[in-house]
Amino acid sequence: MLAAISASAQKVYHLLEAGADADFVNPREGFSALTLGVGWGLDTDALVAIARRMHHPAIRRQQITMAIKEAQRCGREDVVERLSAFLNRERT
């Protein structure tokens, strides 16, 4: 299982690096480019940049919410605060 997740994570990383749509989601493993970025330890600016690249508002809100939960699980309060603020701006 770990090898499959690792392979999927690498695929997401390379797709983003190549400029792919940040809305990319791998529902079978239950993660997105944004939640992977939280797990990889990307800084908050990079995570907000990924969120901004998401084109579909409904997917963006859903994935930001998932990333906030992942950041809480990882103890990354700075990310929780910044993504929460971004999400609140999106809703207004």
List, for residues 7-19, the tens digit of each pLDDT value: 656 666 666 666 6
What pLDDT, on a 0 to 100 scale, did the predictor assign at position 21?
58
Q: pTM to 2 decimals?
A: 0.70
Chain-centre distance of CA 63, in angstroms? 6
Nearest to 45, CA basis, from 12, 92, 83, 10: 83
Confidence of residue 30 (pLDDT cuts 50, 70, 90): low
Instruction: Give 57-75 pLDDT, tens digit per residue.
Output: 888 898 899 899 999 999 9
Mean of the per-residue pLDDT values of the chain: 78
Residue 22 has pLDDT above 80, yes or no: no
